[in-house]
Structure formats: C-alpha cells, structure tokens
Amino acid sequence: MLFNSIDFAFFLPIVFILYWFVTYKNLRFQNVLLLVASYFFYACWDYRFLFLLVFSTFLDYLTGLKIHEAESRKKKLFWLWLSISVNLGFLGVFKYYNFFASSFANALIHIGLKANLGTINVILPVGISFYTFHGLSYILDIYKNKIKPVRDFIEYSVFVSFFPLLVAGPIERATHLLPQIQKKRYFDYSKAIDGLRQILWGLFKKIVIADNCAEYANQIFNHSSDYSGSTLVLGALFFTFQIYCDFSGYSDIALGTARIFGIELLRNFAFPYFSRDIAEFWRRWHISLSSWFRDYLYIPLGGSKGGAWFKVRNTLIIFVVSGFWHGANLTFIVWGLLNAIYFIPLLLLNKNRTNLGIIAQGKCLPNFKEFLQMSFTFGITVFAWIFFRANSLEQAVNYISGIFSKSTFSIPEFTGSENFLSLVFLIFLFLIIEWVGREQQYAIAKLGLNWYKPIRWAIYYSLIFAIFYYGGKEQQFIYFQF
C-alpha cells in the first residue's frame, strides 16, 4: 500500500477512528490494533513476505530475552551472533546473493575459469533493510546493557512493524520508540493538526515535485546517449530533486501519520540541500541511517580516535557500507566512495563539525561565503547522484562524459518540454518555501499560523489542488527498493 494511493486514503481514517474512538480506553487494544493494521498494510504489498517480517520479529524478541538472561558472556555472544547471522543472512539472500554470484563468476572468467553459479529470481521484500536494522539495533542495545528486553511480544512487534515507518523508515531506536508504545497515549488536537499539515507537505513533495521530476529524469537517464550535455545536466538536477522530495516526502508523511496516533518518530531530513559542506549534508540527509551507522559501526570501529589512517579507514568503511546498503550494484559503492572522498579532507583538517547550526539563522538570505559554500556542496552532491541513478558504471561514465562536452553550452532539448517551465516554477517555489521554513521541523510547520485565517487556508487548499492536479500516477517511492 502506497502513501500516495486511494487505498491509503481510506485505510488511514478507518484506523484513526478505531484507534481514538473504539480502543482508546485500553492501551493493549490500541497496540493490537496498530499491529493488525501494520500487518494488513504490509500484506497489501505482498502477503507472502509477511511471514518473513513475523519471523524476524520473533527471532529478535527471543534472542533479546536470551541475551539478557544469559549468565556468561559466551552465551550472550552466541545469541547475539545468532540474531545477526540470521537477519543478515535473509538480507544477503534476498538483496545481495545475485550480485555476489555474478561478481564471483565474472572474476573467475578473468582468470580463465568458468563457473555456472545460478541466480535466484525473487522479489526484494519491501522494507527488509529497514525492519532488519530495527531489530539489530534492539539486540545490540540489549547486549550493551543500554536497555532491557521487552517482555510483551505485542509491544515489541509494534516497535518493529509500526506501519508509518515499516517500509522506508525512519530507522527507529528502541530507546526512543518503545517507551511511547508502552505508555498510555492521549489525543492531542494540536499535534494531530500538525501531523496532518506535515502529511500534506509530504504529499506535495512526492506527488507534485518528485513524480514530475521523475518523468524528465527517467526520460533523460534512460536515453542519455541521445541528449546534449546541457540536457544531461538538467537530468541530473531533476533526479536530485526527485530523490530528495520522494524520500523526504515519504518521511514527512510517516512522521505526520505517526503524530496523529500520538507517537513521535525520529526526524529523517533537515533541509540537506542548504548544507555548507558535505559533513553537514550527511548530518541532515537520511539522519536515522547515518546515526545508525555512526553508533553501531563507526564508533565500534574506533570512530575518529587514533591516527589519520585510522580515521580514513573507518570513514571509507562507513561510506562503502552505506552505499552497499542502498543496493547490490557497483554504482552505489562508487557513490559511497565518492562521498567518502568529499568527506575525508574535512575530517583530516578537523573541519567536519564546523557547520553545526542552521545556515543564515535568523536572516532572510545567506552571506556571500555561505552562498558559495552551499552552491559548491549542492554541485558535488548532484554529481554524486549521477552514479546513484545510473544503471551501470558504464552508463554513469558516459553520462558524465556527455556533460563535459561542448554540447553542454547548447540549449536543452527533449520530448515533453511543454510542461518544463511549469515544473521549473514549482521547483523554484518549493525551494523558497523550504528556505523560509528551514528553521522548523518541516517547511510549512509554522507557515501562515499567525496570518489571517482565510489566507492560511488558501495556502493549504492550493497545495491540495496542486496534489490533485498533478497526481494520478501513484508512482512507487524510490526507497521501497532499498
């Protein structure tokens, strides 16, 4: 079930009514309702993989109890590695087996050997990377004595499979979400309205900006050899806005949906395209994943302690793993390596934590230095996204070669240009709204709250009109494939 579908438009109000008007007096009934709704939400995509979600949930629930009850470190490690091995095993089979099998076969061919390693034809279960990381963080926190295991299986199951975050995050922590599931929740009108406002903004980003950018980005990337360098630049820019509005739009809808049920999820985006360096970008982009890798991989590896080589090694590992997490393709690994190359000079010069605040905070516009920093960071980010979007390294290299050609100075031309100017205007308007709201949790959190009521509602109705006018495509969210 997609957030931008008619099905979800019926599903959400039904669950909301049952949650606040039928089960509101009993916390356990509320949690059971959320669990049933979450499993139904997931089964609407493909019920066959519901078993995998339930099995993974039960495995981590059981191993969490066993780790806590084990009297020796050896037994704790046994249960810890059992959970890690099984979880990563499922992830490896469904997401990475074909990649490793074909890569190994190609490597043997280069040394004169031939191997016929079979591949498996299976659909990647939606959300497997996200709920796997939910479970892993839970058992790792138990092993480190940061939390105690949950005895109530329903509560733990809701933590893993809460439908707003089930298929594309944010990647929650047990220390943050479980206490909210375990305590009584009361309806808060102001929070519910704020949640609806964030859902509205998320739908606008997804349907109006991302889906329309996708049409041009797909057209240009899929036929990149037919276009001039200037058109290829536009294709990269369209994908840059597509992936941000698609994924952050999903996160806005997820956070807003959770809020109307009285639950606060972790923030996942903080206006990353206004960053002044790549380190700031990664503190603002997919925050829940970046912080997960920091806490469960980077710090255990030693973090930034030690010499320069030690720092470089750990940084390379983090970015390569992050790239590989996104998909079994060399393009993602190169994308990760490229971001590591961007990041390492800042780390070695101790400038990776220079820009911690909000750009031009309290001001209308950035100063000239901030504008140059923001433009440079945005430019290298766009360049890296080419590898992320390309189907192969060969296509990415050819795409970049096309950009760095004489045709880059020509006038862009491609089919479907009649809607081009309206989309450019929408992107420009979107950037203005994001800039004005950059100090808030999401762009329209405070927009117009103190204005004359008819004007404020005119803004909301304008967003709704744009959603219906540009909608109807129901395109899947990009991060469903990760």
344: amino acid identity, one letter: I
Annotate 260-278 with b (16+ C-beta within 10 A) or e (fewer).
bbbbebbebbbbbbbbbbb
The span from the CA of 229 to the CA of 386, in Å, is 13
Selecting among 68, 134, 176, 326, the annotated active-site residue is 326
The packing angle between helices 330-348 and 393-403, to 10°, is 60
List of residues 6+ apart from 180 with CB closer than 8 A: 262, 263, 264
In the residue annotation, 223 being an active-site residue is answered as no
Catalytic residues: 326
